[in-house]
Copies of this chain bind each other. A is one copy, B any other.
């Protein structure tokens, strides 16, 4: 029950004992204290450690494979697929390496940039594939250095396909995946987690199944951390392979690659590429329905579910790797049926964390970018330190410029025509703009019958939490208080609350009510009179595009508006209203009127001039009600303002 612990003068000396049982087993952690108390494990562990921990906890997991798209538009769509599928809680995703697609370049469709976006902007643990044949050592090293610089931490080391039809060894070149594994370990020591491919039926070019197993063992002994297998059609294929691996001394995790059949043609193509044979019993089902995509997909889902169940039930499989073919429906369906899809994953913080190692400690952000987190990440990507614990301590005011509103991961997912339908082909006055905001809030179609599903300041539909404020928001938007961000006050709800909860369980979360909107100078004048009555209770920042700035906030101090109290932890305050960053956000928020809305219309057109007028003359206002235990007074403030105007 009791461990003997002599404590000396170092922080590491105080070791934990087994007096408690439920607090994990990370006893070999380094000396430094966790600086981000919530979710340290998830944010600090490497992929292989996460895998090990999940396995030890008897916790099944899944991962998803994607390939880089061909066009910029497809890249935009893939990134939003990452966001949606990321919500299901994959342990990692991986991005394949397409030698023909300039995979290490800065193109928005390159393997490197897609993986970079997944890690940094979608917060996904990501493995970048890399092939080595027909490449120089220098090329490979350059790619790896770039990957490291971008925050990628995992590489899938592959040989790749030969340039010609036949395979020829190059002298001094990289001829096999094992050469790449060795190179990574030589040049980058233990920095990367390395994954290698396993072939349950043996590699088609291998001399024999046994010879291929020996190659696999070489790759593992050269430094690979785990194995993902080629697809296969029968569970026993994998289970036999796994036992054969273990028999020759391969002890690292081996993850089965699952390919849910999604269509006749994609199956045929894959089979051709992988030189696998489809079992007769599957052919027998598929051939008769080969023109019925839905039927094939249903069958594929059934087949995958039953195979995955058998694998999981074997007790030898802890994680499943899915070849998604960049599609969503079949894989999601399989995962849901297996109970692996986390419908409501616990949020570690109220905003999505980035997976770049240097952002590990980040746990405070200004509230302004709540609906544009990718823009925030982009604009802070050059920061060396991230605020942790307290914004005021380490915040760097050097926000990068957001000059290019068309960075593909920041780009609106809707094309121009769709935006015009939502936001109005022709605006007739400021009231038309009020109407767009109101329709976005209510979810009702606009006067032309189109629903407004996004706004320039908010790529996605309304957050569930914002729905709590829907009625009030509708009322004020109709009257020209054009809201772009808000949160209700919360006085200690359980951290497991499905709508507002975040962080580990057993805690309590709190919020101050927040409201941010554009509005006319006439309304601002009335609002300022009303705010005098609320002087000690409500903090405000009011600014126009020229930088005229009115505030009652204490000298440059941030105001914490979201915080959480957890068992055995320090306090986390992930969201602040910060006067300094508000002025950077202001530039972005005003520019979005022009860049995303006004520019939909012809120059000099009345519609464009209306948006330009708003941009030039409206104020951006934010209000915080500090008295979080009482009923939110911000609606009363707005009500009083309208009353004063009447």
Contact = CB atoms under 8 A, between A and B. Distances in A.
Interface residues of A, number: 86
A121 interface: no
A550 interface: yes
Interface stretch (A6-14, A332-340, A409-417, A431-439): A6-14
A24 interface: yes
A547 interface: yes
A462 interface: no
A528 interface: yes
B583 A554 contact: no
A492 interface: yes
A23 interface: yes
Given A7-B547, A10-B397, A35-B390, A16 B569 contact: no
B390 A546 contact: no
B565 A628 contact: yes
A559 B563 contact: no
A37 B390 CA distance: 10
A491 to B, nearest CB: 7
A560 B566 CA distance: 9
Main secondary structure of the interface of A (DSSP, over half): loop
A58 interface: no
Most B CB within 10 A of own CB, among A23, A27, A571: A571
Interface in A1-36: 1-7, 9-11, 13-17, 19-24, 26-27, 29, 33-35
A541 to B, nearest CB: 9
A532 to B, nearest CB: 8
A552 B20 contact: yes
Contacts of A314: none
A391 B537 CA distance: 29
Interface in A536-555: 536-537, 539-540, 542, 546-555
Contact of A548 (B5, B11, B13): B5
Given A571-B571, A576-B570, A33 B565 contact: no
Contacts of A20: 535, 540, 551-553
Contacts of A559: 567-570
A335 to B, nearest CB: 30
A116 interface: no
Interface string A514-549: 000000000000001000100111011010001111
A453 interface: no
A532 B390 CA distance: 34
Interface of A: 1-7, 9-11, 13-17, 19-24, 26-27, 29, 33-35, 37, 40, 388-393, 395, 397-398, 491-492, 506, 508, 510, 528, 532, 535-537, 539-540, 542, 546-560, 563, 565-571, 573, 576, 579-580, 582-584, 624, 626-629
16 contacts: A4-B546, A7-B547, A7-B583, A11-B556, A11-B580, A14-B582, A15-B549, A17-B549, A19-B528, A20-B535, A21-B535, A22-B552, A35-B393, A392-B570, A506-B627, A570-B576
